[in-house]
Structure formats: C-alpha cells, structure tokens
Amino acid sequence: MLTNDLMYKALVDKDISFEGLFIAVVKTTGIFCRPSCTARKPKKENVEYFKTTQEAIQHGYRPCKVCTPLEMPGETPIYIKGILNEMSDDPLIKFKDFDLRQKGIEPNMIRRWFKKHHGITFHSYQRMYRINSAFKKIQNGESIANVAYDAGYESLSGFTESYKTITGYSPINSKGLHVINITRLETPMGPMFACAVDKGICLLEFTDRRMLETEFKDLSKRLDASIIQGHHPHFDVLKSQLEEYFDRNRRSFTVPLYSPGTIFQQSVWRELQTIEYGTTRSYKQQAIALGKPEAVRAVANANGMNRIAILIPCHRVIGADGSLTGYGGGLWRKKCLLDLENKA
C-alpha cells in the first residue's frame, strides 16, 4: 500500500524506484515533482499526492523546473538526437566545438549530457563510434592505413593508440576479434541500452538498472568481445517493434535474440517467452512448467539474470499471492508494463 508516510519517505530519499507510482505536490509553492526530485524537500504537512501529472495540473499545480515531471525520464533532447542521427548516417563524421556552435549547440551542454547519461564525454563517444566503424572495416579486410585515415586520424600511431585503448587490442591483432554494438533507446518508461551481435539482440536493459555494469562485463566475457558504441541493423527492427509495443499495437517480437547463459538459465528464459501477453505466472507455476517444481528459488534467480527485458518477459512473473516481486527495472516499471498489456 502506498501510504502518505511511505511516499514522503521516498520523496525525501529521492527514491527512483517509486517513479511512475505517484506525483508529489507542494501546497506552499504550487509545484509538483517526481519522487526522485533533487530539489529541497518541503515539510511533510505541506505535501499531498496524486497518481498522475494530469491530476496535479487539474488541481492548479505547475511542473517543477528541477525534475521536469512532464518529460520522459532521461529523454534525449532534440538537438542531441539530430547529432546522433548524423553520426548514424556517417560514422566517420567528427564534430568539433566550432561545428556544434555553428548548429547553435553549446559544447558544454552536450558534454554534460553525455557524461550524465553515458559516463563518457561527447568526444570520447565520437571516438568510440569511429573506432567501431574502423573495427568492422578491418574485419572486412580493408587496410589498416586506409581505415585510419578515413577515420580522421593523421597518423597510424595515433589511430593505433586510440584503437587499443577502446578495444584492448592493436589493429593488426584484432582481425579475429568480435565487437558487441551498443546504443541508447528512448521509451515511455525511460531510456534503455541495447546491445547486438549478428546473431541477435543480446541485451536490453533500462539505463538505471543497478546490475548493468555486471551484465556488461559478463556479456563481454561470454562472447569474448568488446562493447563499443555503434549501429547494427537489429537496432532498427528493435526500435520499431518497441514503439509498436508501447503503442499497444504489438504483442510479440520477431527481432532475433541471442542470450548466452547456462543450460538451465536458457531453459528458464525460453519458458518465459511462452507466457502470453496480458497474462501472468507465479514462480512456482514457472518451475512446474519446466518440470522442476522444487526449483522455485533457482528459477527466480535465473529470471533475475535475464538481460533482455520486455522481449523475454520476466515482468510477467509475480508472487504466488499476486504481489509484484523483484524486477531489475524497478517495481514501478513492472506495474506499468503489466498495466499496459492488460489495457491492450
């Protein structure tokens, strides 16, 4: 139950796991905020709560300028989307501060955004994107010298140093290596990272998932590959099908999936994909369906290790009493996904 005490504690703690469950309004200032707002917290008696931003607006409150509750969490600004689209069309393009200012973009703004959402600077992101393109060209047999100069490097030594820093290998020793492409997608429930190899989508997770770093390291180790920013044709299909899903126009996905794991984990993940859209199953029922009724805890652990959210629908597994139990993307997202499917 979402009591006032629980919601106020979440507001004070700036608890992102309560995102989507309530909106807090401050009666003394006339504004409404997300649960995770970082602004100074009001006294308990000055706060009331609504389920949606629409209710807050209808009661005469205005949105907070700090947490911008009317925007999707982590939504990419339009000016950055334009830059990313240009990089997707031409991976070798290089934006300098002068080029950004010519487009009316302040370089410090784009640096801060990339640092916050990707953990790297914009110039580092560009370098990774170019190296990703160079990696593929070298794999296809192009000469290292031509690839280096096409990527905008003035010397082979500079290219080799950047290449080795990002991939861990020198260009000449990387011809038999593999790369995992990674991109960032926008969804109504917040941004997600997607990873792809030729066999299919191998990761789809919300960017604020706590286990994300561990998942990246495990995936890289299992596939013996480096994770590098770059485009892959599977991303186009994934983005289109996710948009249809959130618009309630798609109930299943056809984009190829590739999820390496133990034999038991893969059996659990395959079973998850048999849970029909708009329905739920308990962990016990899932264990029985696998022919292992005694392995409820092991099944739950394997569900938690699923690194392809939504497409492998672990959000459709709930507690035996109907309660919403653990979900890597946050219980509020689990509730929203189930509500979306039930309404459809």
- List, by residue number, the catalytic residues: 314
What's the full length of the chain, in residues?
344
Q: What angle do helix axes 156-167 and 122-139 make, rounded to 10 degrees?
A: 100
| Cross-strand bridge partners of residue 197 | 200
Q: How far is CA 28 from CA 56, 67, 68, 268, in A?
A: 14, 18, 18, 51
CA dist., res. 86 & res. 80, Å (int): 10
The answer for residues whose C-beta is within 8 angstroms of residue 295's C-beta and 6 or more apart is: 287
Q: How far is CA 34 from CA 42, 97, 249, 310, in A?
A: 13, 34, 28, 24
If residue 149 lies in a helix (H) or strand (E), which one and from where to where? Answer: helix 144-150
Residue 88 neighbours by CB distance under 10 Å: 15
CA dist., res. 159 & res. 153, Å (int): 6
